Structures are given as C-alpha cells and as structure tokens.
Structure 1
Amino acid sequence: MSEQISPGGDARSASGRRELAYAVLLCLAGAGLALWAVTRTWAVDTDVVGVPTPLADEGRTGTQLLPWLPALALVGLAGGGAVLATRGRLRQVLGGLLALLGLMIVGGGGYGLVAEIGDEVAQQWPAFTLLGGLLAAAGGLLTALRGRDWPAMGARYERRSRQSAPAAGPIRGAGTVEAWDALDRGEDPTER
C-alpha cells in the first residue's frame, strides 16, 4: 500500500501523526481497560456464619486486593493525554515511564491470576487487567522508540514572552481588533 501525501505535509509527517494516534489510543485503551477490570469482583470468600444463614459470600475487587493498581491506571490515562502535549526528548522519557507503568499493571494482573486470593476466583478480571497493562506498555514503548520524530502541538498553544511581542501603536477605539491583539500580548489596552 503506497503512502498518501497530505496537502500540508509529506508522507513522513502523515505516518508520524498516525503513529502518535496509535500510541495515544493504546495508552488510553490499556489504562482504561485496566481501571475498569480492577473495579470488578476478583475473588469471593464463603464463610460459615450461623444456622439461619449458613453461608455468606463476601466479594473482593481488585482495588481491595491491590489498592495501588487503580492509581497506576489513572496515571496511565493522564500519561496517554500528556503524550500529545509533549515533544522531543521529553516525549520519549514519558513513553519510557508509560511502558514501565504498563508493566507494573501487568504485574498486578499476573498476581491476580496466580495468587490464591479467595475461595472462588474470577480469572477474567485479572486477565483483562493484564491485557490492559500490555496495551499501555506497548503504547509507551512505541512512544519511547519513535516519539521524538512525531509532530507536536502548534506554537499557538505556547505563551509568548513579553520581549518578543512587537511594539504596537496607539489603540484607536474600544472594541477594535488592536485592543484584542494587545490583550493577547499581555498588555492592558486601557493604559494607552
């Protein structure tokens, strides 16, 4: 399949945007899946209580068993969004941290699969947590390896320093475009 060239750029920038989208989606989907799965019931303990009610089931979620796991998933969600806001070397470092975070989520899901945590264990929720961690780790690894060349947010989202703002002439009337431009530069249009 040949690479299409977009009107505003070349094939390489289109590929970079696509890779960026894949990495962000992998991180967000993986962390979201892990967060959802960790809130489900992983284990049920059956206790003998008394004669009228001989058995009582007490379910425990992944959050109750591993309280640090939902926090990691939330950090993964935030990190997936932060990939969009960073660039260059900082984006690669963030990708490495997201890959590590994903592997820690995999460890939590793996623990849920192999540990004897109750009388009846639901294997699907730790498995979904493990899968979510793998997806988040893959997105982080892709970001760490390829993120430096991906496009970044435009300069219009960055604040300009006061020294770089050009000197403007007097503002000719209230509500004019010049007044709004002065506000954008950080100047008070009423002081002129």
Structure 2
Amino acid sequence: MNHRRSYLLSLVACLAGAGLAAYGATRTWSLEVAHRPGMSDLRTPQTGADVAPWLIGLALVALAGTGALLATHGWVRRTLGVLLTLAGLGIVIGAALGRAGLDVGEAGAGATFWPIACALGGAIIAVGGLTAARQGHLWPRMSARYERKGPQPQSPAPGSRPAGTPVPSRTKPADGPADSLDDRPVDTRAAWDALDRGDDPTS
C-alpha cells in the first residue's frame, strides 16, 4: 500500500469513526417506562451521552484531530496519530462500561445496537490514528498553494524610474561653455551706445 493511499484511508477512517461514534452516543440506550393507571405512561429515555458524557467530547476531539492531520507533517502528524488512537480507545472503553452497568428497560434492540455502533466508531478511529502514528511522517504534505505566502515585489510601472536611481541634473555647470546666445553675459552700456547710434542692440 503506497503512502498516499494509506493517508486517504486513515483520514476517511477517522472522520467516519468520529461521526459513527457521535451518532451512536446520541441515540437511546435505555428507556424506563412508568405505567400510570388512567394516565399516559411516563417515559424516561437515556442516551449514550447521558450515560457517558465524555463520549461526545472524544468524538469531537477525533474530528478536530483529523482536520489537523491535513495541516501538519513529520513528528507533529505522528503525535496526532497517537492522540487519535487514545481517543478511539477511550470511546470503545466508555461505550462498553456505559452499557455494562445500564438498566436498558424497554429500549429494545437499540439498547444493544447503538452502544455497539459507538464502540465500533471508536475502534475505527483507533485504527486510523495508529496508521497515522506509524506512517504519518511519510505522507505527503499540504500543497504549497495553500500555504501563506509573503508579499510579492511589485514591478515598476512603464516609464517609471526604479527607486534609488539618481535623477540627471539639468543645470549647466557654472564653468562650462555657453550653449546659446541667451547664456552670454549682456553688456548694457554697449547696448545703450548702439541705440544712440540707431543700431539694433540685439543683432
């Protein structure tokens, strides 16, 4: 049996066993009927959860542990397998002890069937948990697409300048040559003399 197959079977076993155990624990295990002349009978049912309240709690632990198997790996997953095994065995023992000392009254076949169903669910959980404890470190991990990723770097917008790039200066050096006539110094006295002579000072 390959690891992926045992992984899926263990998950299904724990889920199905927890559901069966929880359902069996909520059914009627005992029914006391008090017959009253001239009045309706007084019926007092007891479920498996009434007889052994921890059965529901262990079934919920098994459900939570099955979900945790999906999100863990390595020795953590194997530890969860041990806890699932103990939870399943606790359900089996609790169902057996609860039924052993119970006066079933007029519960009929349900007084036998539902405790057995609850114990069977616990046994299935224990088998799935034992498989996880033995092979959990060999099972595949959750896909990387479900893991949290850090923020992705944003690409610069078209035409934008990357951060840290120096901006070229548009100022002409003070000691550089003049690039145009506008950059040359203006002699105001010569301009006035040209106007006095009737010449164009801008030529």
Fold-level match, TM-score > 0.5? yes
Moved more, 62-71 or 82-91: 62-71
Helix, strand or coil: the match of 1:159? coil
Aligned match of 1:92: 78
Give the letter aligned to residue 32 of structure 2.
D
Residue-pair matches, total: 156
> Which segments of 5 or more consecutive residues in structure 1 lack a partner in the other structure?
4-14, 173-192
> Which segments of 5 or more consecutive residues in structure 2 lack a partner in the other structure?
159-203
Query: TM-score normalised to the size of structure 1?
Result: 0.74
Deviation at 1:54, TM superposition (A): 7.2
Aligned counterparts of 2:90 and 2:47: Cα–Cα separation in 1 = 18
Aligned match of 1:150: 139
Deviation at 1:141, TM superposition (A): 0.4
Q: 1:141 pairs with 130, 148, 160, which one?
A: 130
Structure-2 change in CA distance of 1:58 and 1:149 (3 Å)? same
Q: 1:68 pairs with 46, 49, 54, which one?
A: 54
Aligned counterparts of 2:92 and 2:81: Cα–Cα separation in 1 = 16
Deviation at 1:74, TM superposition (A): 1.6
Aligned counterparts of 2:106 and 2:119: Cα–Cα separation in 1 = 19
1:109–1:128 CA contact under 8 A, matched in 2: no
Matched, 1:40 2:20: no
1:116-161 Cα offsets, whole Å, 9 max, x none, are: 2442451111111110000000000000011110101122222234
Q: 1:169 pairs with 155, 171, 189, which one?
A: 155
Larger Rg: 2
Deviation above 2 Å: which 4+ runs of structure 1?
A: 53-57, 116-121
Aligned counterparts of 2:41 and 2:146: Cα–Cα separation in 1 = 60
Deviation at 1:171, TM superposition (A): 4.0
Aligned match of 1:83: 69
Aligned counterparts of 1:156 and 1:89: Cα–Cα separation in 2 = 22
Aligned counterparts of 2:40 and 2:13: Cα–Cα separation in 1 = 47
Structure-2 change in CA distance of 1:171 and 1:126 (3 Å)? farther
* Aligned-residue CA RMSD (Å): 2.1
2:30–2:102 CA contact under 8 A, matched in 1: no
